[in-house]
Amino acid sequence: MIFEVEFKTKWSDFDPNRHMRHTAYNDYASEVRVRYFQEHGLSITEFSKLNIGPILFKEETSFFKEIHIGENITVKMELEGASKGIERWRFNHQIFNENGILSAEIKVYGAWIDLEKRKLTAPPQSFVSIFESLPKTNNFVEIPLKECAVEN
């Protein structure tokens, strides 16, 4: 089952051309990730207690259909890839306009950072089960460990 959130767009999401700003799409994708983590026990407070946080290496956005002022959107999120210990991960977000037409697709590639050492780190074991419960894309792949060298 795909994790999805519906949003009412707001005035500040739009540009002078009367369509949604390109960065607003990414903001909504980020909000969906945060909501998923919160619903599964990883609130901002919990991240702070663990002294760990997500970090993005790459964000790719493809645009297909404009979203106009006044439209509501649905953002769907799936896990497209992850290393066995969840050291690295890749999410796929799809943003649909109010008519259910795919408007944009956003892929984010990331890892975890130790907020004190400012170094990449492996997440606690509790994160693994949360990631295992994430809906996965049809083309989900395990990211090889050799691509996931974590600095200690």
Residue 57: inside a domain, yes or no? yes
Residue 92: inside a domain, yes or no? yes
Residue 48: inside a domain, yes or no? yes
Residue 75: inside a domain, yes or no? yes
Phi–psi pair at 28, nearest 5 degrees: -65, -40
152 pLDDT higher than 60: no
Residue 46: inside a domain, yes or no? yes
CA distances from residue 104 to 3, 61, 79, 88 in whole angstroms, order as listed: 16, 7, 17, 23
pLDDT tens string 39-61: 998 888 988 999 999 999 999 99
118, with CB counted inside 10 A (0-12, 13-18, 19+), is exposed
pTM for the model stands at: 0.90
Instruction: Considering only residues 19 and 63, tell me which one the structure prediction assigns the higher pLDDT.
Output: 63
Q: What is the pLDDT of residue 43?
A: 87
Residue 152: inside a domain, yes or no? no
Confidence of residue 149 (pLDDT cuts 50, 70, 90): low
Which domain does 79 fall in, by range? 3-147
How far apart CA 151 and CA 59 sit, in angstroms, is 22
Tally of domains within the chain: 1
Residue 98: inside a domain, yes or no? yes
30 pLDDT higher than 70: yes
CATH assignment at residue 69: 3.10.129.10
Residue 94: inside a domain, yes or no? yes
